[in-house]
């Protein structure tokens, strides 16, 4: 049975227009149906990714998703929900390390496919990537300058104004040594999501092209331990 991505998008658009707890609870059945379609999409996507990265297989889709509920404690925006379906697909599930394949479906042209290290609050992870870059800069340059990669992606991330102390400001990858996170975003238009089969094929190919970037970061992050809470 075809995955109903249109129902997902319609639900998220309605939630965006009615971002309050009363509407959410009154339409809980629609949420359950939309979320089930997202999990079906994830399952199909994982099987496609598994053809070139078998390490992502073995997780249940529901283990990879993030909640709609927002933490509004420190935000000016007090709307209780983020009208987006999000997931991170990696060998360790939705943990940010090892890095994997991120998907966000959010109507209004805000959907994207992502890869790399988004979390910049882990100082050890940032240091490990910087240290690896120092010694493996040529490989990094080969990956990000590969023509098809460079045509689709630009490396993004939180960055300092200067190369941090302890690193050579004349290093060929000095601009990347300034960064605290290194990630890719490939934006997806709403109309691309309405044909589930076409979207799955496009997403799998996009993630396949991200894989060398992810692999590089995961080599840099080998041995990283998530901080204990």
Q: What is the structure's pLDDT at 204?
A: 98
Q: Residue 227: inside a domain, yes or no?
A: no
| Structural domain total, the chain | 1
Closest CA to 183 of 93, 118, 120: 118
pLDDT digits (tens, 9 = 90+) for 63-122: 999 999 988 777 777 889 999 999 999 999 999 999 999 999 999 999 999 999 998 889
Q: Residue 226: inside a domain, yes or no?
A: no
Angle, CA 157 vertex, CA 152 and CA 160 arms, to 5°? 140
- Percentage with pLDDT > 90 across the chain: 91
Q: Residue 93: inside a domain, yes or no?
A: yes
The mean pLDDT of 208-228, rounded to a whole number, is: 95
| Burial class, 194, CB count within 10 angstroms (exposed 0-12 / middle 13-18 / buried 19+) | middle
Q: Residue 121: inside a domain, yes or no?
A: yes
Q: Residue 119: inside a domain, yes or no?
A: yes
137-156 in b/e burial notation, b at 16+ Cβ within 10 A?
beebeebbeeeebeeebebe
Under 8 Å between Cβ of 144 and 215 = no
Q: What is the structure's pLDDT at 67?
A: 95
Q: What is the structure's pLDDT at 227?
A: 84
Q: pLDDT band at 158, cuts 50/70/90? A: very high
Q: Is the peptide bond before 17 cis (omega within 30 degrees of 0)?
A: no
Q: What is the structure's pLDDT at 155?
A: 98
pTM of the predicted model as reported, rounded to 2 decimal places: 0.94
Judged against a pLDDT cut of 90, whether residue 229 lies above it is answered with: no
Q: Residue 228: inside a domain, yes or no?
A: no
Q: Residue 225: inside a domain, yes or no?
A: no
The mean pLDDT of 162-175, rounded to a whole number, is: 96
Q: 3-class DSSP state for residue 38?
A: helix
pLDDT digits (tens, 9 = 90+) for 10-66: 999 999 999 999 999 999 999 999 999 999 999 999 999 999 999 999 999 999 999
Structure tokens at 26: 């009154």
Q: pLDDT band at 1, cuts 50/70/90? A: confident
Q: What is the structure's pLDDT at 215?
A: 98
Q: Residue 149: inside a domain, yes or no?
A: yes
Q: In the predicted model, what is the mean pLDDT of the chain?
A: 95
Inter-CA distances, 144 with 130, 155, 168, Å: 16, 8, 21
Q: In which domain, by residue range, is 69 found?
A: 5-220
CATH code where residue 159 lies: 3.30.930
Q: What is the structure's pLDDT at 78?
A: 82
């Amino acid at each position: 049975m075809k995955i109903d991505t249109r129902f997902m998008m319609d639900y998220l658009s309605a939630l965006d227009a009615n971002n309050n707890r009363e509407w959410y609870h009154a339409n809980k059945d629609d949420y359950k149906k939309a979320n089930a379609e997202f999990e079906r999409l994830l399952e199909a996507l994982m099987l496609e990714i598994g053809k070139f990265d078998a390490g992502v297989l073995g997780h249940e889709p529901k283990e990879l998703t993030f909640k709609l509920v927002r933490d509004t404690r420190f935000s000016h925006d007090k709307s209780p929900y983020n009208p987006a379906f999000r997931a991170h697909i990696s060998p360790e599930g939705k943990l940010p390390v090892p890095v994997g394949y991120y998907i966000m479906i959010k109507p209004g042209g805000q959907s994207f496919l992502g890869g790399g290290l988004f979390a910049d609050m882990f100082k050890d992870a940032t240091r490990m990537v910087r240290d690896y870059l120092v010694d493996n800069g040529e490989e990094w340059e080969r990956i990000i300058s590969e023509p098809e990669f460079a045509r689709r992606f630009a490396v993004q991330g939180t960055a300092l104004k200067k190369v941090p102390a302890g690193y050579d400001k004349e290093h060929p990858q000095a601009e990347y040594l300034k960064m605290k996170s290194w990630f890719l975003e490939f934006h997806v238009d709403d109309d691309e999501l309405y044909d589930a089969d076409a979207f799955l094929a496009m997403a799998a190919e996009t993630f396949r092209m991200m894989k060398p970037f992810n692999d590089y970061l995961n080599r840099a992050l080998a041995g990283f331990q998530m901080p204990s809470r």
